[in-house]
Amino acid sequence: MRLRKFVTLLLVLLTTAMLFAGCDSARDSGADAVLGSGGKILRIVSGSENRELEPILEDFAKSEGVRIEMTYQGSLDIMRLLEGEELPYDAVWPASSLWLDAADTPLNLKHAESISITPVVFGIRQSLAEELGFVGREVTVGDLLQPIRSGELKFCMTSATQSNSGASAYIGFLYALLGNPESLTSADLEGESLRTQMTELLSGVDRSSGSSDWLKDMFLQGDFDAMVNYECLVIQANQELGAQGREPLYVVYPTDGLTIADSPLAYVDQGDREKEELFLKLQEYLLSADTQSAIQRTGRRSSYTGVNEENRDVFREDWGLQPDRVLSPMKMPAQQVLFQALDLYQTEFKKPSLNVYCLDYSGSMAGEGNRQLEAAMEQLLIQSNAREHFLQASSREVNILIPFSGEPMEVCTAQGNGAELESLNSTVQDLEPGGGTDMYAAALQGLEELKNYDLSQYTPAIILLTDGQSEGSYQAFADAYQELGAQVPVFSIMFGDADESQLEDLAELTNARVFDGREDLAGAFRSVKGYN
């Protein structure tokens, strides 16, 4: 009897250990999603829009007895990864071939195939689209520019330097405003007329994002008139709006500036024949007729000439969708011209950022924490560093530093991208940690600083870093935020033993998000800056 009890107990302990080992394996992989649980592993770095395909990938993983680890990154980050000597992934799946072509990569990429296509469109609140006269007719970028100039049309859009949907929309705008040249050249980008019109067009952006998928979620949680995003994500947004009893978005295809994401999946050949066979099996599965039909059910297209009859109900024409529309790929600019265009977007064309950095200098940040903070801010404030990730400041940008411990310290402000910004970095490097933690008081001070600016002329954000549980009053901040009457996101970076629930409360209040800086603080700062 004792032996039986001992064996039973041993089996329970072994089972528990295996369960925890499985959890640790998933957690230690660093992946955003682990699909399946087999012995063979396929690691894929992908654009965030492919989160919607996880159920389809899960089916493959289970049927083949393998594990697929998905890590989601922005298009520029994927391109930068490809330019490194090594890549900790077996495959790459960016939103567009643009980023495979733009990467100057030493890696051996093979078997690249488009898995689906989706155009980048405007989704405009139905009643507003009707008021603007956009329903039931073709609309050009010039047509869209008119209500943007008058203030009748504001929209959300991802950053052109961080996300493919934003970059694609921006490239389409460039071609349209230049009269659709055969190819985009450096000389085309230098015209004063283009500068004026593009600045006017991008002045209509009232919230930005570094991720297409998160832009959709942000839109659903807020009160916005329109967004620029993939057709498939606008469809999904409409499905959720319908479930909530809210007004749908009407899809507008900018006819003279319509760009298309072709979702290429490519293998990174590192000499593992077994891994390559698994990749090819996954690719064959994704391109099969049944799976392509399932992918169409998510709002993506399988061809440039229309959608299958059984999926037409997804592409609802009363939402402005055109299931029979023939899509023509636009010629993408050469790498040098692309980078020049992205640089102009970041430094000249887009609405300037207004960043309020509330940085924790409490005693617990002493030592390694403070060293990481200094290194992270150096990546943003020193412009030669920021330029590597297209995060450099414009001449009109404003950066405000509010260091805090138990209370806010002296507020420092830098206008533009010159000496004042370098001086702000010197302040960061010179400050010493000490004292308690009250992030709410610092964030409140940030709201007071924002009152000195016409927020309609900026893309404002409060960027909060903390490594501990905050003293002070959340309610006092919430009351002051409501009184401000403006949509200012509070993006938080969690570090050390920070209370995630406190940060999530701020994110929910301000329609923002929390970034994890515990593994890579500099990377977290770069990510949050890409949302502004």
Residue 313 to residues 40, 192, 431, 457, Cα–Cα distance (Å): 38, 45, 60, 41
Letter string b/e over residues 353-377, b meaning 16 or more CB atoms within 10 A of that residue's CB: bbbbbbbbbbebbeeebbebbbebb
Maximum alpha-carbon separation in the chain:
89
Q: What is the pLDDT of residue 314?
A: 97
Which 8-state DSSP code applies to residue 49? G
Residue 246 to residues 118, 126, 223, Cα–Cα distance (Å): 24, 11, 11
Sheet architecture: strand order including 40-46? 33-35, 66-72, 40-46, 91-93, 264-268, 109-114
**Quick one: tokens of 302?**
């399988």
Rounded Cα distance between 342 and 332, Å, is 13
Rounded Cα distance between 246 and 238, Å, is 9
**Please, what sign has the CA dihedral across residues 40, 34, 58, 301?**
negative
Q: What is the pLDDT of residues 338-353, one digit of tens each?
A: 999 999 999 999 999 9
Beta-carbon count within 10 A of 138 CB: 11
Q: Is 153 in contact with 225 (CB distance < 8 Å)?
A: yes
Q: What is the pLDDT of residue 29?
A: 55
**Quick one: tokens of 407?**
């209370």
- For the chain, which residues score pLDDT lower than 70? 1-29
Rounded to 5°, the CA angle 223-255-344 comes to 70
Q: What is the pLDDT of residue 194?
A: 96
**Quick one: tokens of 356?**
């309020």
Q: What is the pLDDT of residue 104?
A: 85
Q: What is the pTM of this model?
A: 0.91
Burial of 384 per CB tally in 10 Å (0-12, 13-18, 19+):
exposed
**Please, what sign has the CA dihedral across residues 420, 426, 430, 436?**
positive
Residue 507 to residues 84, 183, 221, 362, 462, Cα–Cα distance (Å): 34, 42, 11, 22, 11
Q: In 3D, which of 424, 423, 415 has the Cα closest to residue 359?
A: 424
